[in-house]
Amino acid sequence: MDATTRTASDADLPVLPAELGRALDGFLAHLDHQRGLSAHTRRAYRADVGALLRYAVRHGATTLARVDLPLLRGWLASQAERGLARSTLARRGAAARAFLRWAFRTGLVPTDPSARLASPRVARTLPTVLSPEGAARLLDVARDDARTAEPDDRPAALRAWAAAELLYASGIRVGELVSVDVGDVDPAERLVRVLGKGGKERVVPFGVPAARAVTTWLEEGRPAVARAATGPALLVGDRGGRWGQRQVREAVHRLAARAGVDDVAPHALRHSAATHLLAGGSDLRSVQEVLGHADLATTQRYTHVDAERLRRVYAQAFPRA
């Protein structure tokens, strides 16, 4: 049958043959009901599986039964030839496997062709971190900007100070930061409650400088930009809406430039916090809890960061290095 359909879940996808369109719709509905998947992961899988099915149609596969292992390998190879990063290829391979496993379990295909699909191994790179001195310079600049800003600029400076201090002091993700509400943070107890990956809630401590920055923002900065319809967001933008991740990144980039340190994104402050905690004697399990890592191996990479720093110091300082 040559009837075609658009997926109900994403009207922007090109028309697919009826069977593929229904399968994609079913998979997206399946993802929507899976606990623990972030919105970002769902969007990525939607785009990746849609790309796979469009590739399949271009190569004459108009039914799921014709989406076989050679086609899957050809799809990934075509993207490798386009120069896509190994991490992107790995993610797309994972999306294809998730889709075809679901199709097999639901009886849409007799076998799972992705069971033998190998994805490129993603190189484990060490995260970018600031030295403790560099982090201190960045936060000092944020504090000084907040103290010396002109009245019209003061709310923005206070907001940037509070954001930078919380990112470094608690090690939370930027997405977690912008989702924090006023009721989630307790400057007196120096605790912040965040909703992490997989919908898992955790409570993270922070220090006195961050508590001071947050308190000053709540007392002097937020009231100046909040509106009647602002809602409970802790960090509020100039127009009264919840501050977004892009605005946080821009603020951190500006602070890094003013502090004369490496140009870093907000996630580097999380990396820096983890590295500095471990270097200061914190155990891996405690740091894992602070960061909200499901797997201890994810936290262990920060021990590699500190080991790499020690190797550089050794090479520079030891006569027989």
Looking at the fold, whether 193 and 253 belong to one and the same domain comes out as yes
Long-range contacts of the stretch 61-65 (C-beta < 8 A, 24+): 62/17, 62/19, 62/20, 63/17, 63/19, 63/20, 64/19, 64/20, 64/23, 64/103, 64/108, 64/109, 65/109, 65/110
Overall number of domains in the chain: 2
Q: Are 218 and 182 in contact (CB under 8 A)?
A: yes
Residue 201 has pLDDT above 70, yes or no: yes
pLDDT tens digits, one per residue of 85-122: 888 888 899 899 999 999 999 999 999 999 888 766 65
Looking at the fold, whether 76 and 185 belong to one and the same domain comes out as no
More confident call, 18 vs 284: 18
Looking at the fold, whether 174 and 286 belong to one and the same domain comes out as yes
* 285 in any annotated domain: yes
Amino acid at 209: P
Is 197 in the active site? yes
pLDDT tens digits, one per residue of 45-83: 899 999 999 999 999 998 999 999 999 999 999 988 888
* Highest-confidence segment of 105-109, 198-202, 262-266: 105-109
Catalytic residue among 30, 73, 197, 258: 197
The CATH number of the domain where 269 resides is what?
1.10.443.10
* Domain that residue 155 falls in: 132-317
Catalytic residue among 173, 222, 271, 276: 173
Looking at the fold, whether 180 and 39 belong to one and the same domain comes out as no
Looking at the fold, whether 100 and 139 belong to one and the same domain comes out as no
Is 293 in the active site? yes
How far apart, in Å, are the Cα atoms of 257 and each of 52, 176, 227, 237, 260? 41, 24, 31, 22, 5
State residue 110 phi and psi, 5-degree precision: -75, -25
More confident call, 91 vs 313: 91
Looking at the fold, whether 237 and 280 belong to one and the same domain comes out as yes
Q: Is 269 strand, coil or helix?
A: helix
Please report where in the chains the tokens 């307790």 appear, as a residue: 186
Please report where in the chains the tokens 């120069």 appear, as a residue: 83
Looking at the fold, whether 184 and 287 belong to one and the same domain comes out as yes
Is 137 in the active site? no
Residue 314 has pLDDT above 70, yes or no: no
Catalytic residue among 91, 270, 271, 276: 270
* 105 in any annotated domain: yes
Looking at the fold, whether 39 and 184 belong to one and the same domain comes out as no
Looking at the fold, whether 232 and 172 belong to one and the same domain comes out as yes
Catalytic residue among 73, 253, 267, 301: 267
Of 84, 116, 148, the last residue of a domain is 116
* pLDDT value of position 1: 37
The CATH number of the domain where 44 resides is what?
1.10.150.130
Is the Cα torsion angle 59, 84, 127, 309 positive or negative in sign?
Answer: positive
* pLDDT value of position 306: 55
Exposed/middle/buried for residue 20 (C-beta within 10 Å: 0-12, 13-18, 19+): buried
